[in-house]
Amino acid sequence: MPASVSERLTAVKARIARACQAAGRSPDEVTLVAVTKYATVEQVDALLASGHRDLGESRVQQLETRAQQWAQYSNIRWHMIGHLQRNKAKAALQVAHLIHSVDTLRLAEELQELAVPTDRDVPILLEVNCSLEPQKQGVAYGAALHLSEQIGSMSCLRLAGLMTMAPLTEDTAVIRQSFSRLRELFQELRQRGIGGADLRHLSMGMTHDFELAIAEGATMVRIGSALFGAEAS
């Protein structure tokens, strides 16, 4: 029989714990964001029954739908992990606990403008293209420091950290280099005081590479297929 969601969750947490031990870190430092994009209703029910509360979606409409489906759980932390268009920013703000994918000044300004009337603090992550692939989303690596400074000056946005996606390759050295670039940028931001105490997170690593991400300092890993099956991401 295929493993249940509960069994898969236990197995993923064990892998996280082993990766943390190898890196000299505590598993408590790493948040598992369960990516529910391809999960069935029954699978999400099983995940929530296991006590897990950090869930991620890559599309705003799906994020809204999922949040409505499980509105009885007031303590779910919904993560917006996919590309966010400016015209979807308002909807994302209403649902997301954390937006991982801010990658332009115009999007940051849109979020700021929407948040000002409510005087709300909006935690966001800056998505950075650390793989240097032209087709990838994210601010160019060389422009990330300047954009971080601009976001840091906005009254309602809280730069909580950085996010990246490694290239799809079997070459672990190439994957790890992407994660290392993000960690180095994170350290530079800290040295410059950008983000202040809010700057705490590195969102990097998915099913096929999260152990490498943890070795490079990931505090959030985004896992789909290891929890819900081969089609999840």
In order, the DSSP letters of 104-146 are: SHHHHHHHHHHHGGGT--EEEEEEEE-S--TTS-SEEGGGHHH
Decide if 233 is inside a domain: no
Q: What is the CATH number of the domain that holds 175?
A: 3.20.20.10
- pLDDT tens by residue, the chain, 233 residues: 678 999 999 999 999 999 999 999 999 999 999 999 999 999 999 999 999 999 999 999 999 999 999 999 999 999 999 999 999 999 999 999 999 999 999 999 999 999 999 888 999 999 999 998 888 899 999 999 999 999 999 999 999 999 999 998 999 999 999 999 999 999 999 999 999 999 999 999 999 999 999 999 999 999 999 999 865 44
Decide if 184 is inside a domain: yes
Decide if 38 is inside a domain: yes
Residue 111 phi, psi dihedral angles, 5° rounding: -65, -40
The domain of 120 spans 5-228
Decide if 190 is inside a domain: yes
Number of structural domains the chain divides into: 1
In this structure, how many other beta carbons lie within 10 angstroms of the beta carbon of residue 1? 4
Q: What is the pTM of this model?
A: 0.95
